[in-house]
Chain A
Amino acid sequence: MKVGVVTFPGSLDDRDAARAVRAAGAEAVSLWHADADLKKVDAVILPGGFSYGDYLRCGAISRFAPVMTSIIERANVGMPVLGICNGFQILCESHLLPGALTRNVGLHFLCTPQPIRIENISTPWTNNFQQGAEIVIPLKNGEGSFQCDDKTLDQLESEGRVIARYVGENPNGSRNLIAGISNARGNVVGLMPHPEHAIDSLTGPTADGLAFFTSVLTAMVGK
Chain B
Amino acid sequence: MATIVVDVMLKPEILDPQGQAVLAALPRLGFTFAKSARQGKRFEIEVDGPVTQAQLAEVSKAAETLLANPVIETFTVRVEE
List the interface of chain A (C-beta within 8 A of B): 56-57, 60-61, 64, 92-93, 98-100, 102-107, 145, 147-149, 173
Contact = CB atoms under 8 A, between A and B. Distances in A.
B21 interface: yes
B12 to A, nearest CB: 12
Contacts of A93: 69
Given A107-B18, A107-B21, A102 B72 contact: yes
Contacts, number: 36
A147 B72 contact: yes
A69 to B, nearest CB: 14
Of residues A93, A99, A103, which shows the largest number of chain B Cβ atoms within 10 Å of its Cβ?
A103
A102 B14 contact: yes
Given A100-B72, A107-B17, A173-B17, 16 more contacts: A56-B67, A60-B66, A61-B66, A64-B66, A99-B71, A100-B69, A102-B10, A102-B15, A103-B16, A103-B18, A104-B17, A105-B17, A107-B18, A147-B14, A147-B15, A148-B71
B81 interface: no
A104 B10 CA distance: 14
A149 B66 contact: no
A147 B14 CA distance: 7
B15 A105 contact: yes
Nearest to B67: A56
A178 to B, nearest CB: 14
Of residues B13, B15, B16, B67, which shows the largest number of chain A Cβ atoms within 10 Å of its Cβ?
B15
